[in-house]
Structure 1
Amino acid sequence: MTASNGTPALHATTLPITGIDGHAHVFVHGLALASGRRYAPAYEATLEDYRAMLASLGLSHGVLVQPSFLGTDNSFLLSCLDAHPEQLRGIVVVDPARDIAQIEAWHARGVVGVRANLIGTALPDFGDTVWAPFLERMADLDWHFEVQIEAARLSAIAPAVLASGVHMVVDHFGRFDPALGTGDPGFATLLSLGPTRQVWVKVSGAYRVSPERDDPAAALAAAVSAWPALVREFGVDRLVWGTDWPHTQFEDVQNARLTRDQLESFVDQPDQLRTVLVDTPASLFQFR
Structure 2
Amino acid sequence: MISIDAHAHVFHRGLTLAGERRYAPDYDAPLDRYLAQLDSSGLTHGVLVQPSFLGTDNCYLLNCIRAAPSRLRGIAVVDPTIGIEELQRLDRGGVVGIRLNLVGRPLPDLTESHWTRLLANVADLGWQVELQRRAADLPDLVTQLLDHDVTVVIDHFALPDPTYGIADPGFAAVLRLGTSARVWVKLSAPYRNGPLGRAFARQAYPLLRDAFDVDRLMWGSDWPHTQFETTQDYAANLGFLDELIPDPAERARVLAAPRGLFRF
Query: If the length of structure 1 is used for normalisation, what is the TM-score?
Result: 0.89
Give the aligned partner of residue 99 of structure 2. Answer: 115
Larger CA deviation: 247-256 vs 98-107: 98-107
Answering whether residue 10 of structure 2 is matched by residue 26 of structure 1, we say yes
Answering whether residue 202 of structure 2 is matched by residue 224 of structure 1, we say yes
Give the AA of the match of 2:24: A
Give the aligned partner of residue 185 of structure 2. Answer: 201
Q: Which runs of no fewer than 5 residues in structure 2 stay unpaired?
A: none
Answering whether residue 231 of structure 2 is matched by residue 253 of structure 1, we say yes
Give the aligned partner of residue 244 of structure 1. Answer: 222
Are 2:75 and 2:95, in contact at CA under 8 Å, matched by a contact in 1?
yes
Give the AA of the match of 2:244: F
Q: How does 1:96-111 map to 2 (within 5 A)?
A: 96-111=80-95
Answering whether residue 57 of structure 2 is matched by residue 57 of structure 1, we say no
Answering whether residue 255 of structure 2 is matched by residue 281 of structure 1, we say no
Give the AA of the match of 2:177: L
Q: Secondary structure at the match of 2:100?
A: strand
Give the aligned partner of residue 176 of structure 2. Answer: 192
Give the aligned partner of residue 109 of structure 2. Answer: 125
Give the AA of the match of 2:255: L
Answering whether residue 58 of structure 2 is matched by residue 74 of structure 1, we say yes
Give the aligned partner of residue 3 of structure 1. Answer: none
Q: CA RMSD for the aligned pairs?
A: 1.1
Give the AA of the match of 1:221: A
Q: Identity percentage over the alignment? A: 48
Are 1:125 and 1:157, in contact at CA under 8 Å, matched by a contact in 2?
no
Give the AA of the match of 2:262: F
Give the aligned partner of residue 26 of structure 2. Answer: 42
Rounded Cα–Cα distance in structure 1 between residues aligned with 2:38 and 2:65: 15
Are 1:148 and 1:171, in contact at CA under 8 Å, matched by a contact in 2?
yes
Rounded Cα–Cα distance in structure 2 between residues aligned with 1:123 and 1:147: 12
Give the AA of the match of 1:271: A
Which of 262, 274, 277 does residue 240 from structure 2 map onto?
A: 262
Are 2:216 and 2:258, in contact at CA under 8 Å, matched by a contact in 1?
no
- Count the aligned residue pairs: 264
Distance 1:159 1:127, change over 3 A: farther
Which of 123, 127, 148 does residue 139 from structure 1 map onto?
A: 123
Answering whether residue 142 of structure 2 is matched by residue 158 of structure 1, we say yes
Q: Secondary structure at the match of 1:21?
A: strand
Are 1:127 and 1:161, in contact at CA under 8 Å, matched by a contact in 2?
no
Rounded Cα–Cα distance in structure 1 between residues aligned with 2:103 and 2:64: 26
Deviation of the 1:99 alpha carbon: 4.1
Rounded Cα–Cα distance in structure 1 between residues aligned with 2:83 and 2:244: 39
Answering whether residue 79 of structure 2 is matched by residue 87 of structure 1, we say no
Q: Deviations over 1:153-181 (max 9, x none)?
A: 11331221010000000000001111111
Q: Deviations over 1:34-92 (max 9, x none)?
A: 11200011000000100001111111110000000001011110111111110100000
Moved over 4 A (4+): none
Q: Secondary structure at the match of 2:25?
A: coil
Rounded Cα–Cα distance in structure 1 between residues aligned with 2:20 and 2:90: 26
Larger CA deviation: 235-244 vs 125-134: 125-134
